[in-house]
Structure 1
Amino acid sequence: MSRDTSTRIADRRLTGPRSRAIAIGTALLICAGAAGAAVASDGGGSRDAGHTQAREGAAHAQPREAAALTGSAKLYRKTTEDVTFTFDAHLAAKDNGDPAKATGTFRFVHLDKPGGEGGWAEGRIDCLMTGGKVATATGIITGTNLKGIKGGRVGFTVHDQGKHDRVGYSWASVGGPDGTKKLTKCTSAAPFEKVRKGTGDFHVRPWHPTYPTG
């Protein structure tokens, strides 16, 4: 067989189905390598940018709520008393101009010692106003073991100071929660109580009311 004939046969073999498959596979590997190199060269920047855009999109899709008071903590006592306040109060963005449309729950428990005897009450929030890191809220008592206060309104004030919070309540001057129905919404006492270290924390979301421009 002549050299020219051998060359033509080899050429036909290289252009057959198997050769085309090898060529396609090689091309795919080259493309994959180039794509990997591109990702490596930007340090994952494209992926990070995508995640950032997704987070920003979610933030725009879910408007910031107008105000909030959340968290649970025990009050400081030199005695064995165990006093706990818990809040989950929120004012929706759509209700920014009306704090009386706040929703959520509150609960407080006052025991003579941890696990001991005492009183408790819980209810629904009916007003919330915050300014900076200070929140004032009121709510209607819907459940309690104390006589005569169910259905009444009580108020709370919290100063969020980062695990050194302070708390006030509307019955500070009368010695116990009276649940008066005459208490005005969003009314309470100054936050004179201290939170016991390591027992919890409160979080206040500042309210940004709309100021008149006329």
Structure 2
Amino acid sequence: MSAAVEQFLEAQTKGLPGAVSYTFGPLDRHAQQAACSAFEPFLPPGNRLWGRSTIGVRCLGPTAWSVYVPVQVKITGKHLSAARQLAAGQVIAESDLSLVDGDLGALPATVLTDPRQAIGKALRNGLAAGQALRSDALITPWAVQQGQMVKLLANGPGFTVTNEGKALSNATDGQLIQVRTNSGQIVSGIARHGGVVEVRY
């Protein structure tokens, strides 16, 4: 049974960032004594192989039974942290980040490991220097905000037309947005940073 658990852990932790090591608790007495021809390890719903976790093991025969085994997954790797104190709403630049070595398994599973996951996004709340950066702490900033005057840019084969209008909603970079032109016409386009909306014909 230990071999089945170990194979399962090895397969399930293969894609995790960093160097992975794990330990699992002793199997209960019933599991050690009961006859079993085949074991099937599984991850109980809501569990992740990250830090302290639990895996289940089913016996497929001759008698069906299940046990749960505590596991500790240690992931040694680099994660992002704040290089200095960062304010809420601040848009992250590369200079705001530092890569730190540590046990990712001791941090939330939402911890970020690649600067590209954070650069250009804004912080929901302030961060102290050295604090780990998590995906749930970031929001994509609006490229265009409702009521903002925007520049409409229409490109077609051999022509470019510019116009102005008022954004009818908020949109992040790359999102579809509707704009009311000065003449009252409503057009749709793709929001871009800098208050630009690209209209395609």
TM-score w.r.t. the length of structure 1 is 0.18
Q: Which has the higher contact order (CA 8 A, sep 6+)?
A: 1
Identify the structure with the greater strand proportion: 2
- The structure with the larger Rg is 1
TM-score w.r.t. the length of structure 2 is 0.19
